[in-house]
Amino acid sequence: MNEIQLKYGCNPNQKPSRIFMENGGDLPVTVLNGKPGYINFLDAFNGWQLVSELKKATGLPAAASFKHVSPAGAAVGLPLTETLEKIYWVDDLGELSPLACAYARARGADRMSSFGDFIALSDECDADTARLIKREVSDGVIAPGYTPEALEMLKAKKKGAYNVIQIDPAYRPDPIERKQVFGITFEQGRNELDIDGELLSRFVTQRKEVPESALIDMKIALITLKYTQSNSVCYVKDGQAIGIGAGQQSRIHCTRLAGQKADNWWLRQSPQVLGLSFVDGLGRADRDNAIDVYMGDEYEDVLAEGVWQTRFKVKPPVFTREEKRAWLDKLTGVTLGSDAFFPFSDNIERAHKSGVAYVAQPGGSVRDDAVIECCDKYGMAMVFTGIRLFHH
């Protein structure tokens, strides 16, 4: 098949809509269930490229959670700690496969943004992963294959309307890519740059020795940024993106946005949040919302309004700014990646507040010396990759 008709384009008024192969060949994807839309396929194809590269770079199964053509989360399949199992709401599922761990991490880092995501998996979807997907609010999934049990579970999701796409892992696109804007065709060579160890060898700070885990996290950060709408910044820890700032016009706003998401990920692991007692029957998404409100500065106002009774069994004490800062100070060993150079050292100052110890960025700013000096002040290791990763 070289064409798939879509219900509509980005918006309902944009008709007709389809995906097709201009060369007349067959599409590398098969829709096994549902009717994916225009944005679904954009998320699916970007997500597939991301997880394929993560698998190639790390040798581990990988997963991504996409929303509006940028990843809300991306991760490789490392085992989950008991705490991560609890904050990702998977502690009732028993031991998970590596692929399911990857998706739990990708979905769990920023659960607010991942709500209604499109999933990309690097490996054949197994029953563990399908069982996890089935219980979350999601639009669809793309993978190179599905076990019979997994496919049966996914086909039953959303009353049989869940989008399940299978992609040919051997497919390789043409080296030249084109798209139209305002009736005008743009053409460029595909970004086939490999994110490998060679790019991570030019350390420009006083600190030059980093653990192997940090080099892996640098790869994850840069590969994630390669498929994130620019400007973009990505915080990574222990094999997963914990904060992604996408599509901002200012680099410092990317750094702040991603840093706030990384902070929220860490605050969810605090004793104050882990100790929350939710009312019976409160769903995972409502629990996520309740936690987000609890961690916010406006929670005292919510307490005054008495809204807490609809969410918690017991009235939780206010999580003070001082308590939050004390807990955030325990976050260490975070890696920060940027798709373009940092023009000012304020980005490093903000990154430091979220436990960043390792930085990967292209370099090339007229203020590189100030950025390096700021890293040295905090004992960070920074590598200049010499390559930019803009994606639009």
Active-site amino acid positions: 67-68, 231, 392
Enumerate the β-bridge partners of residue 31.
165
Phi, psi of 61 (to 5 degrees): -55, 145
Task: Answer yes or no: are the C-beta atoms of 360 and 221 closer than 8 Å.
Answer: yes
CA 324 – CA 327 distance, rounded (Å): 5
Number of H helices, E strands in the chain: 14, 15
Angle at 45 between CA 39 and CA 50, to 5 degrees: 125
Query: Helix H segments across 73-185?
Result: 82-87, 98-108, 111-114, 127-134, 148-155
Element housing 235 (H / E): strand 232-237
Phi, psi of 379 (to 5 degrees): 70, 25
Report residue 232 as tokens: 């973009």
CA 340 – CA 322 distance, rounded (Å): 34
